[in-house]
Structure formats: structure tokens, C-alpha cells
């Protein structure tokens, strides 16, 4: 297994992995265009695990100079429980540390929290909330450009 940075040619494989894992609810956030945008974002860390040249898992995180957050981790179902998720988390934490991050948080699901606890993360009281109608907010805002 090899960990490397995201390449444009990974998109098809990564979308497939998300679909198989039921993580493709928001194509605007996780789809091909979004992946390419993340790859171009300096605050983002976007790593891919490949086995025999084929992407089999990936991780995305962001560090804004203060907080570091892992916001997506996905391993192809055929490759789970082989240490790939664990290796991706270690790799992203290493990169975040080198960028100056003092800690790292992760947005996780109830089904995967056991994995994160094994990786040394602890539960907090934080919850993720979501609002999708940014266009409406923007139209009503005095800040609108």
C-alpha cells in the first residue's frame, strides 16, 4: 500500500468508494468538481491510499492555522480492516503536525466512532449542524455582493 497526494485521475475511483460506503449524499460537496477544488486549496490535505496502483481509500482534512479537522475518511469495502484507514489517519496527522497543527478533530459517524477511539481520538460534546440554503441567506444579507 502506498499513501500519496490526490490526483485528478483518482476522482472516478473515489466517488465509487463513497457510493459503496453510503457517503455520497452531497455530490456538490463530495463530487468530482469539489474534489478538484479541495486539491487546489492550500488549507486542505487530501491523501489517497493505493494498492497495486488503484485508489482504495482516501482522507481529507483542513488546517486553518488554528484548528485542524479531518472531515472525510473512506476505505473501499473490499479493503477495510486491513490497516488502510489507520495508515491514512496517521499520514494526515503527520502532515497536519508538520503544518503546525497542535491538535486534530474529526467529524465522525456513530458507526465509525469505535475506529476513531482506537486511533486515540475521544468523544467531545461537539455536534455538526448543517444549513444548505446559503443562496437564500446571501440574497437577504446586507453583505450581498
Ligand X SMILES: CC(C)(COP(=O)(O)OP(=O)(O)OC[C@H]1O[C@@H](n2cnc3c(N)ncnc32)[C@H](O)[C@@H]1OP(=O)(O)O)[C@@H](O)C(=O)NCCC(=O)NCCS
- What is the biggest distance separating any 2 CA atoms in the chain, rounded to whole angstroms? 53
| One residue of 2, 83, 90, 138 binding ligand X per CB under 6 A | 83
Nearer to ligand X, 81 or 136 (CB): 81
Structural contact between residues 63 and 101, judged by C-beta atoms closer than 8 angstroms: yes
Q: How many CA atoms lie within 13 A of 107 on its CB side?
A: 13
Residue 112 beta carbon to ligand X: minimum distance, rounded to whole angstroms: 4
- What are the phi and psi torsion angles at 37 (to 5°)? -65, -45
Among 5-13, 32-40, 80-88, 137-145, the segment contacting ligand X (CB under 6 A)? 80-88
Nearer to ligand X, 111 or 124 (CB): 111
Q: How many CB atoms lie within 10 A of CB 34?
A: 15
The order of strands in the sheet holding 68-75 is 2-5, 44-51, 54-63, 68-75, 105-106
Which three cell numbers, joined as nine digits, stand for 7?
Answer: 490526483
Which three cell numbers, joined as nine digits, stand for 63?
Answer: 488546517
Instruction: Check binding of 105 to ligand X (CB under 6 A).
Output: no
Instruction: Check binding of 19 to ligand X (CB under 6 A).
Output: no
Q: Give the per-residue contact string, 21-60, with ligand X (x = CB under 6 A; - = no).
A: x-x-------------------------------------
List interacting residues with ligand X (CB under 6 A).
21, 23, 72-75, 80-86, 108-109, 111-112, 114-115, 118
Amino acid at each position: 500500500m502506498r499513501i500519496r497526494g490526490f490526483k485528478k485521475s483518482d476522482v472516478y475511483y473515489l466517488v465509487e468508494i463513497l457510493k459503496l460506503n453510503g457517503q455520497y449524499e452531497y455530490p456538490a460537496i463530495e463530487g468530482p468538481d469539489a474534489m478538484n477544488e479541495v486539491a487546489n486549496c492550500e488549507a486542505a490535505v487530501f491523501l489517497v491510499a493505493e494498492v497495486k496502483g488503484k485508489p482504495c481509500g482516501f482522507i481529507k482534512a483542513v488546517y486553518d492555522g488554528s484548528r485542524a479537522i479531518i472531515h472525510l475518511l473512506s476505505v473501499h469495502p473490499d479493503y477495510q480492516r486491513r490497516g488502510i484507514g489507520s495508515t491514512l489517519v496517521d499520514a494526515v496527522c503527520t502532515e497536519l503536525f508538520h503544518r503546525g497543527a497542535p491538535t486534530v478533530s474529526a467529524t465522525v459517524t456513530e458507526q465509525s466512532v469505535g475506529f476513531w477511539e482506537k486511533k486515540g481520538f475521544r468523544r467531545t460534546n461537539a455536534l455538526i449542524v448543517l444549513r444548505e440554503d446559503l443562496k437564500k441567506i446571501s440574497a437577504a444579507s446586507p453583505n450581498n455582493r
